Amino acid sequence: MGLEPARKARESGSVNARAVIAIGLGAALTACALPSNPWFLAALHPRLLVANAQRVPILAELKVDFGQPVDPQVVKVRITPAATTVSRWAGNQLFVAPVGHWATATDYAIRIAAFQDHRHNVQIKGWQASFRTQPALTAALVLE
């Protein structure tokens, strides 16, 4: 069903035509309305915020931005290869830092098995992101 009947009614200029146009417009607006499904409205889209995911400094603190409040009690972070880390929350962001430093020239994955928004309406499972640490620095002694 298109808007053809509404166009014809508008061209006729009658009072009934205005009603048809209004009904047609209402149907079009209803069709464009956002669904009330909480999975759609409250979707969580976490992102790993790093300047260059292929050259992360070995002392860098990683930042995962969830975009909205989550329940920190259910967020369990796993780093592979295994690394000892400390984490803290600031607003909607989780900060993860190594105890000491990340290994140089290493590909890491940060995984969160499951997490929920702060109202426990939306649950996300199996999020992950990856990064690589900077290469080892070497020094050369030049003799003249």
For the domain that residue 74 is a member of, what is the CATH number? 2.60.40.3710
The answer to whether residues 56 and 127 belong to one domain is yes
- 144 residues of the chain, pLDDT tens digit each: 555 655 565 566 655 555 444 444 443 333 333 333 343 334 667 889 988 999 999 999 999 998 888 888 888 899 999 999 999 999 999 999 999 999 999 999 999 887 777 777 777 788 999 999 999 987 777 777
The answer to whether residues 88 and 125 belong to one domain is yes
* 81 three-state secondary structure: coil
Domain range for 118 is 38-132
User: What is the per-residue pLDDT for 9?
Assistant: 56
Query: Could you tell me if residue 141 is inside a domain?
Result: no
Query: Could you tell me if residue 73 is inside a domain?
Result: yes
The answer to whether residues 8 and 66 belong to one domain is no
The answer to whether residues 63 and 97 belong to one domain is yes
User: What is the per-residue pLDDT for 103?
Assistant: 97
Exposure of 66 in the CB half-sphere (CA atoms within 13 A): 25
Domains: count for the chain? 2
User: What is the per-residue pLDDT for 72?
Assistant: 87
Rounded Cα–Cα distance for residues 124 and 117 (Å): 9
Query: Could you tell me if residue 138 is inside a domain?
Result: no
CA geometry: angle 33, 34, 39, nearest 5 deg: 160
**Residue 32 vs residues 27, 28, 29, 123: alpha-carbon distances, Å:** 9, 6, 5, 26
